[in-house]
Structure 1
Amino acid sequence: MRFIVLLCLFTVTTVNFTFACECGREGSAGRIFRGQQVQAHKYPWLAHIRSFENRLLGAFAQCGGSLIDDQHILTAAHCVTDDSGSIIPAANIDVYLGRDKAFSDKTKPSRVSQVIIDSYYNRKNLSNDFAILRLSSPVKFTQTIAPICLPNSEDGLSKLKVAGWGIVGPKAKSSNNLLEVDVDYFTRNECNDVKADYILKSNGIPKSMKRYYRIPEVASTHLCAINKKTRGDACSGDSGGPLMHQGSNGRYYLMGIVSGSWTECGEDEDTVGLYTRTLVYRNSIKKIAPNSCWQDLN
């Protein structure tokens, strides 16, 4: 895959940390629809990202992200690009780690030195919605700052979790508290069926006419999930955050990145959430962030 890279140069003091492949452990103890509040610092890899188109104006777009080693964050490409599709300068992006409250915590932001997005990112259908942020200097791992594991496969997925500080409904404001929601994994065939049914319904076409229409499949870079019972899902402000699987060993694995949906959360309960598949980018991630922890699902 080709990538677009944007650099921002800073004068920094380099500090070397010894990295051990320890990942995905709960810490001490954003688009989320019908979620519940999370215990303090449960997910120490979770990043709160603020992207400023103009720092002087103070307005920013809020997203989530996931720490995968001591210097790299995975997030969504649409979180770090503007309305024209151009990459937001690295100097205009702040990353908060070790944060429990989105707005009331006093943690200082980490600066970003490099923004890397998939050059095939499509703003219309959100395919290839993937980005890596390189921090200006490594972070020190603590009980509240630690990386998540990355998966060697997608085998046997069923129950997953999403966490973030996004809004909790169609007309709500972003949450100050970190929220989480359980979601169910959809197979690719199931996801394509849901998409086709949504397209037909939104155009007033009966399902019985489906065979007469050729509806594009869900992008190969996406997987689909939603809570089948409550219809809980990620929501605005959760973009870029983690879709997680917890293994029997207690570790969490980053299966996907919150990307979007065909509607606003909660507006149509027959749709699902779209998540960029981490596994698609394994080779690229290993090249850019060689210290990230890739493990078999347990």
Structure 2
Amino acid sequence: MHVCGVSNRKMRIVGGNITEVHEFPWIAGFSTRGKFYCAGSLITRKHILTAAHCLDGLNMREIQIVLGNHNRVSHENTVVRRRIKSARIHEHFDPYSFNNDIAVIEMDISVEFDSVIRPACLPQNQVSDYTGTMAVAAGWGRIGERESLSNVLRKVDLPILSDEECQTAGYAKKQLTENMFCAGYLKGQRDACQGDSGGPLHVTGAHGNLEVIGIISWGRGCARPQFPGVFTKLTNYLDWLRNHLDGECVCPPPQVR
């Protein structure tokens, strides 16, 4: 049995570090017409969680999904490539405000779980308050606002801000909805960036597994002071997700005996 949220650590990312190879075995990279542009998280053998804006307006037949990858420009023998069979963009996604920025992809062929490809855990509690928790974002996005995409998967630690901290940052209050939260530093320096969209923001759950609690969504520039990253609040969508997974299990973390 392969349990969700188990990282392979041996113990749009700005100011972060290169991950260990396959440290986040659920992360998926998206490309269209040969160009990498977004990410997602494997949550069942055939479903990937991502941001709605990573799919909205695009030709689904041109999107390729890559799993089991670390260096996206080298052809690793662990790589699994898939296409999209179908996709469910949230019915109330607003492409102007990015409210309800969430989508689920069904791949054309299921994957087998192993040491390189495993599913992410979703939050177990809809009412959890993660304020002050240190979270980890991961992706192949730009390493600076004016820099290029990263060839290798990177991660960055970002503290989750309170709603008050988020609303008193540089964003207009009307830009932020109850379906979003902020994570990052008001002084800037560390952030997700373009190309990281759709990827996961994790916290360590009660059982030690990583839980994806946010989807990298939007922000003003990258790592700018007073403009922390904005994420889709996954706890608001657990019922929606269950209704769009065709009865597939969203792997819970192991229970304490």
Where does residue 90 of structure 2 map in the other structure?
Answer: 118
Change (3 A) 1:21 1:280: farther
Structure 2 spans left out of the alignment, 5+ residues: none
CA RMSD of aligned residues (A): 2.2
- In the aligned structure 2, how far is the partner of 1:118 from the partner of 1:218? 18
Report the residue type matching 2:6 in the other structure.
R
Counterpart among 233, 237, 247 of residue 195 in structure 2: 237
* CA offsets 1:152-175 (integer angstroms, 9 cap, x no match): 225252110000001111111000
| Secondary structure of residue in 2 paired with 1:149 | coil
The 5-angstrom pairing of residues 72-221 of structure 1 reads 72-81=47-56, 86=57, 88-106=58-76, 107-153=79-125, 155-157=128-130, 158-195=133-170, 198-199=171-172, 215-216=173-174, 218-221=176-179
Letter in 2 for 1:223: F
SS in structure 2 at match of 1:148: coil
Query: Which 10-residue stretch deviates more, 225-234 or 185-194?
Result: 225-234
Unaligned runs of 5+ in 1: 1-19, 200-214
Moved more, 216-225 or 90-99: 216-225
Letter matched to residue 66 of structure 2: Y
Instruction: Show the counterpart of 1:288.
Output: 244
Greater Cα shift, 114-123 or 20-29: 20-29
- 2:22 aligned partner: 41
Q: Secondary structure at the match of 2:243?
A: helix
Q: Which amino acid aligns with 1:62?
A: Y
Q: How many aligned residue pairs are there? A: 248
Whether the aligned pair in 1 keeps the contact of 2:209 and 2:253 (CA below 8 Å) is no
Asked if 1:25 is matched to 2:19, the reply is no
Q: Equivalents in 2 of 1:281, 1:135: separation in Å?
A: 20
CA distance in 1, matches of 2:120, 2:205: 12
Residue type matched to 2:94 in 1?
N
Matched, 1:64 2:20: no
Residue 228 of structure 2 aligns with an amino acid whose one-letter code is: V
In the alignment, is the contact (CA less than 8 A) between 1:64 and 1:75 conserved in 2? yes
Shift of 1:249: 3.2
Tell me the secondary structure at the aligned position of residue 78 of structure 1.
Answer: helix
- Does structure 2 retain, via aligned residues, the 8 Å contact 1:71–1:134? yes
Task: Indicate the SS of the match to 1:112.
Answer: strand
The ranges of structure 1 where at least 4 consecutive aligned residues each deviate by more than 3 angstroms after the TM superposition are 227-231, 294-298
Contact 1:37–1:179 (8 Å) recurs in 2:
yes
Q: Which amino acid aligns with 2:20?
A: Q
Q: Deviations over 1:6-36 (max 9, x none)?
A: xxxxxxxxxxxxxx5721001376x001110
Identity, in percent, stands at 31
Which letter maps to 2:5? G
1:255 deviation in Å?
Answer: 0.3
What is the rounded CA distance, in whole Å, between the counterparts of 2:72 and 2:23 in structure 1?
14
CA–CA separation in structure 2 for the residues paired with 1:294 and 1:272: 30
Corresponding position of 1:264: 221
1:167-226 deviation per Cα after TM superposition (whole angstroms, max 9, x unaligned)? 11111100011100000011112211214xx44xxxxxxxxxxxxxxx426111111100
1:279 CA drift (Å): 1.4
